[in-house]
């Protein structure tokens, strides 16, 4: 008996990857707009309602169902900035977003990464727990104060390094007799990464603190005489350490002292300290908006870096090849 064979057309499942959507927390709107422009898109619309007691509730004004969502916001104090990020994560989760990435250029409370005295909280771990409970499926941040904070998460963490954006600025300076310096022992790894790429010497500052933000004694490990020095650090808060280090280096015969700091917290009298210090200039990123502009502070945007990494996350490609550390 002859059987007939039917030529069946192969079945292909048609899938269309929805374009991701970007949203901004209020404190990082300017940076988020730059990132969106570099990403070649526009920010999604968020409507925030306020109660008379200060309570607020953000709401997405467009559908995020089935999409990858990037929520952009640095979580520097006050606590409303962190709370807004958590509320937006929860809103995205309840609106059936497929992937929710918390893009936190500056990860607040990162200095509380361990118990360094009795009866204190580990704030960085608490924030990690809150972000995951809020609905984040991925974290994207830059220059964490302590690399081990990545281990506080059970979700993937994309840890970006600002050396990528600062290196071109250093090269454009075309400085002779260049030396990279770390303002403390903890930042030596970062300083060595810069020095290896720039093929120059390293100087380390050894400091003893009387208490938080107050330095009792500082000493240099290395020679800066006749050198153009660039101090590198992950953040600048009150500016006391960098101002002290710059003045000490100038006293020891340095030709010039510059500083590169990723996160410009600049609290207290930091702006005045920088202006009155021996620093030629302070180069920072725009993870935290400046409170005011001064002649010594130069801003290099991190928006192109974040947009590039966000594209790679969307396309499931590696991001590790573009960083120094």
Taking residues 282-299, report their average pLDDT: 95
Q: How far apart are CA 35 and CA 208, in angstroms?
A: 39
Residues 250 and 220 grouped into a single domain: yes
In a domain, 267, yes or no: yes
- What residues form DSSP beta bridges with 214? 211
Residues 76 and 181 grouped into a single domain: no
- Is residue 251 predicted with pLDDT exceeding 90? yes
In a domain, 153, yes or no: yes
**Structure confidence by residue, pLDDT tens digits, 73-85:** 999 999 999 999 9
Active site residue 155: no
DSSP string covering 82-120: HHHHHHHHHHHHHTT-SEEEEEESS-TTTT--S--STT-
Nearest CA-CA partner of 233 in 178, 285, 159, 289:
285
**Structure confidence by residue, pLDDT tens digits, 35-46:** 999 999 999 999
In a domain, 144, yes or no: yes
In a domain, 6, yes or no: no
In a domain, 99, yes or no: yes
Taking residues 12-21, report their average pLDDT: 67
Taking residues 67-92, report their average pLDDT: 97
Output the pLDDT for position 323: 73
In a domain, 12, yes or no: no
Residues 218 and 193 grouped into a single domain: yes
Confidence of residue 1 (pLDDT cuts 50, 70, 90): very low
CATH number for the domain that contains residue 216: 3.40.50.2020
Confidence of residue 324 (pLDDT cuts 50, 70, 90): low
Residues 122 and 176 grouped into a single domain: no
Confidence of residue 11 (pLDDT cuts 50, 70, 90): very low
Residues 124 and 174 grouped into a single domain: no
Residues 46 and 125 grouped into a single domain: yes
Phi then psi dihedrals of residue 69, to 5 deg: -120, 130
Number of domains composing the chain? 2
Q: Which residues span the domain enclosing 211?
A: 163-301
Residues 172 and 130 grouped into a single domain: no
Q: Which residues of 242-268 are buried (b: 16+ CB within 10 A; e: fewer)?
A: bbbbbbbbbeeebbbbbbbbbbbbbee
Residues 137 and 78 grouped into a single domain: yes
Residues 90 and 195 grouped into a single domain: no
Q: Which one of 125, 155, 207, 296 is the catalytic residue? A: 207
* E-assigned strand segments in the chain: 21-24, 46-50, 56-60, 68-72, 99-104, 138-142, 157-160, 178-182, 201-211, 214-221, 228-236, 256-264, 281-285, 297-300
Residues 167 and 243 grouped into a single domain: yes
Residues 121 and 236 grouped into a single domain: no
Crossing angle, helix 303-315 and helix 29-39, to 10 degrees? 50
Q: How far apart are CA 233 and CA 284, in angstroms?
A: 10
- Length of the chain in terms of residues written: 325
In a domain, 198, yes or no: yes
Output the pLDDT for position 214: 62
More confident residue, 215 or 175: 175
In a domain, 45, yes or no: yes
């Amino acid at each position: 008996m002859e059987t007939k064979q039917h030529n069946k057309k192969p079945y292909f499942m048609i899938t269309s990857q929805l374009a991701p959507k970007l949203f901004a927390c209020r404190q990082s709107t300017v940076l988020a707009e730059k990132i969106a422009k570099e990403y070649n898109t526009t920010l999604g619309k968020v409507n925030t309602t306020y109660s008379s007691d200060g309570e607020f509730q953000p709401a997405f004004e467009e559908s995020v169902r089935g999409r990858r969502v990037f929520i952009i916001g640095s979580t520097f104090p006050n606590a409303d900035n962190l709370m807004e990020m958590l509320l937006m994560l929860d809103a995205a989760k309840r609106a059936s977003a497929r992937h929710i990435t918390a893009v936190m250029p500056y990860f607040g409370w990162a200095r509380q990464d361990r118990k360094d005295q009795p009866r204190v909280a580990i704030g960085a771990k608490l924030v990690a727990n809150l972000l995951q409970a809020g609905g984040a499926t991925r974290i994207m941040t830059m220059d964490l104060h302590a690399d081990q904070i990545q281990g506080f998460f059970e979700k993937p963490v994309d840890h970006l390094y600002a050396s990528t954006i600062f290196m071109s600025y250093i090269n454009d300076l075309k400085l002779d007799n260049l030396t990279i310096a770390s303002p403390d022992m903890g930042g030596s790894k970062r300083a060595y990464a810069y020095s290896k790429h720039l093929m120059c010497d390293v100087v380390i500052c050894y400091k003893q603190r009387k208490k938080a933000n107050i330095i009792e004694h500082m000493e240099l490990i290395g020679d800066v005489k006749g050198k153009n020095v660039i101090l590198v650090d992950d953040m600048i808060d009150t500016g006391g350490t960098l101002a002290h280090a710059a003045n000490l280096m100038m006293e020891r015969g340095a030709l010039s002292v510059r500083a590169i700091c990723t996160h410009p917290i600049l609290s207290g009298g930091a702006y005045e300290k920088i202006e009155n210090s021996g620093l030629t200039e302070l180069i920072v990123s725009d993870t935290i908006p400046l409170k005011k502009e001064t002649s010594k502070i130069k801003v290099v945007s991190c928006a192109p870096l974040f947009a590039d990494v966000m594209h790679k996350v969307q396309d499931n490609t590696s991001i590790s090849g573009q960083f120094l550390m």
